[in-house]
């Protein structure tokens, strides 16, 4: 009789489902770790979220094994493990809020201002979870030697869903103000995670689809990041030439209303990476910079007035002058041109006109 055949089917089912989740997540962590020019903070939070789901998956397998009494343990240890499981899941909700905010606003300033509002539910749950080690708050060990939820357990679920809703509302408001976030669609994660949660509640306890749903959601989120990375120029961190066709499609479908195009030509200079650092600092976040050629950067934006472009050009020129003073042996020489949308010209016509002039199409 093989070892596997001695293991109850319930434990095997839990093991297989959660193993898929873990393999998926380990793959995502490794691939994301290799992603070039990705913000380190963003990488760290993403990896932390993946690790939390891995912990969740491991705890599910452990809980199934304990339920089927493969692993004989004192009931207090079993309860402690369940409490840890809940803390991990609650911690994931906080990580999700942090990740969503960072993707939207490139910082934690807004979250920090409301930190007690965000953390208070988590800390209340943490205290209640710790108390659960001593008396039944969310979970209890029944006479059937299995762990059951108390009526109060629903409070945890409500708070967890609350965090998801808060993040979704923030993204909705952000998209309303700034236009749709390209390469970050919350539904990509939320839908599989929600589907996993629903199936988890409807199916027998050992069919633990929550961790699998979350793993699939995170993997799909990574797929969006990988898609964005596929357009990135490694040297400068801007989009590369392949992004031109992607933008052309967005513009022709009226998902992006280009108002002007600026062109920065370094005329053969080798210090393109340094120039792009200068440009990144001077360009507002609403702009779309694309490395068109080895020494040419195209910048799209929706504004259709000269004055903002002049401001950018002036600031870039000043920064280049400062750079050249410090790097007199290898100075930059930048030519700046721009094209505004003509009266009655569509964004697509402007874009096409500029690209043809630059021989980029």
Partner 1 sequence: MEIEEISSDNAEDFLSILGPDIVDDMKRVFYRGLGVMGDSSEPEGVLIYELVDAESDKDTKSHVVMAKYNSPEAGKAVQKLYKEDYVYEENIIESFYESEDEKLADDFATEGFSKDKKESDVVKISLKDTAGLDLVKKGNPPSYVKSIIELSVAQYRTAIKACLFKGHKGVLEDLAYLPMTWFEREVSACSITDGNVDGLFLVRATPSGVLIPVLFFATGPDSVKRLAYMLIYSIKKALEKYPPETEVIISRTKKASKEMIKKLLPEVKGDEVFFGSRKE
Report the alpha-carbon distance of residue 304 to residue 260 in Å, rounded: 6
| Residue 115 to residue 194: CA distance in whole angstroms | 25
What is the DSSP annotation of 140-208? EE-TTSSEEE-TTHHHHHHHHHHHHHHHHHHHHHHHHHH-PPTT--THHHHHHHHHHHHHHHHS-TT--
Binding of residue 306 to partner 1 (CB under 8 A)? yes
How many whole angstroms separate alpha carbon 179 and alpha carbon 166?
A: 19
Region at 359 (left for phi over 0; alpha for psi -120 to 50; beta for the rest): left
Indicate whether 174 belongs to the interface with partner 1 (CB under 8 A).
yes
User: Is residue 162 part of the contact set for partner 1 (CB under 8 A)?
Assistant: no
Q: How many CB atoms lie within 10 A of CB 257?
A: 16
Among 9, 286, 321, 333, which residue sits at the site for partner 1 (rule: CB under 8 A)? 286
Q: Does 301 bind partner 1 (CB under 8 A)?
A: yes
Q: Per CB under 8 A, does 278 bind partner 1?
A: no
Q: Which listed residue (40, 74, 326, 343) binds partner 1 by CB under 8 A?
A: 343
132: left (phi over 0), alpha (psi -120 to 50) or beta: alpha
Question: Please, which residue, 113 or 234, has the CB nearer to partner 1?
Answer: 113
Least distance (Å) between residue 99 CB and partner 1: 15
Among 245, 270, 305, 321, binds partner 1 (CB under 8 A): 305
Which CB atom, from 136 or from 308, has the smaller least distance to partner 1?
Answer: 308
What CA–CA distances, in Å, run from 11 to 64, 140, 299, 352? 6, 21, 56, 60
Radius of gyration of the chain (CA): 26
Output 240 or 315, the one with its CB closest to partner 1. Answer: 315
Distances (CA, A) of 184 to 3, 87, 177, 324: 45, 27, 15, 38
Q: Which one among 201, 311, 330, 335 touches partner 1, defined by CB under 8 A?
A: 311
Q: How far is the CB of 172 from partner 1 (least distance, A)?
A: 11
User: Which of 47, 175, 252, 302 touches partner 1 (CB under 8 A)?
Assistant: 302
Residue whose CB is less far from partner 1, 208 or 260:
260
Q: Is residue 294 helix, strand or coil?
A: coil
Comparing CB distances to partner 1, the nearer of 270 and 314 is 314
CB of 271 to partner 1, least distance (A): 21
Q: Looking at residues 103 to 122 of the shown chain, list those that interact with partner 1 (rule: CB under 8 A).
A: 105-110, 113
Residues 228-267 that bind partner 1 (CB under 8 A): 259
- Identified binder of partner 1 from the candidate list 103, 139, 291, 341, rule CB under 8 A: 341
Task: Identify which of 252, 256, 264, 275 has the alpha carbon closest to the alpha carbon of residue 298.
Answer: 264
Q: How many CB atoms lie within 10 A of CB 303?
A: 17
Contact status: 303 vs partner 1 (CB under 8 A): yes
**Binding residues for partner 1, per CB under 8 A?**
105-110, 113, 170, 173-174, 177-178, 259, 282, 284-287, 301-308, 310-312, 315, 340-343, 345
């Amino acid at each position: 009789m093989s070892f596997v055949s001695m293991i109850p089917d319930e434990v095997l089912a839990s093991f297989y489902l959660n193993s898929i989740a873990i393999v998926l997540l380990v793959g995502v962590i490794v691939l994301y770790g290799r992603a070039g020019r990705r913000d380190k903070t963003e990488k760290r939070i993403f990896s932390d979220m993946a690790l939390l789901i891995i912990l969740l998956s491991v705890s599910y397998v452990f809980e199934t094994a304990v339920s089927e009494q493969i692993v004989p343990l004192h009931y207090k240890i079993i309860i402690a493990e369940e409490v840890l499981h809940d803390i991990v899941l609650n911690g994931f909700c906080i990580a999700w809020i942090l990740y969503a905010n960072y993707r939207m606003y490139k910082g934690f300033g807004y979250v920090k201002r409301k930190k007690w509002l965000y953390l208070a539910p988590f800390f209340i749950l943490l205290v209640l979870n710790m108390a659960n080690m001593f008396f039944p708050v969310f979970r209890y060990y029944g006479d059937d030697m299995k762990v059951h939820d108390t009526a109060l357990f629903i409070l945890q679920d409500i708070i967890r869903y609350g965090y998801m809703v808060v993040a979704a509302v923030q993204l909705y408001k952000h998209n309303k103000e700034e236009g749709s976030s390209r390469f970050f669609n919350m539904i990509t994660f939320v839908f599989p995670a929600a589907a996993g949660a629903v199936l988890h509640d409807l199916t027998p306890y050992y069919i633990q689809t929550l961790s699998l749903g979350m793993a699939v959601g995170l993997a799909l989120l990574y797929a969006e990041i990988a898609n964005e990375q596929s357009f990135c120029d490694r040297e400068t961190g801007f989009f590369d030439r392949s992004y031109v066709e992607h933008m052309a499609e967005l513009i022709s479908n009226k998902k992006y209303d280009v108002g002007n195009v600026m062109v920065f030509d370094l005329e053969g200079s080798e210090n393109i990476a340094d120039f792009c650092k200068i440009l990144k600092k001077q360009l507002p976040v609403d702009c779309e910079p694309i490395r068109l050629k080895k020494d040419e950067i195209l910048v799209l934006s929706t504004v259709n007035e000269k004055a903002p472009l002049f401001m950018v050009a002036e600031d870039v020129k000043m920064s280049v002058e400062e750079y050249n003073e410090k790097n007199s042996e290898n100075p930059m020489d930048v030519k700046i041109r721009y094209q505004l949308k003509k009266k009655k010209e569509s964004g697509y016509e402007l874009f096409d006109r500029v690209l043809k002039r630059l021989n980029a199409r």
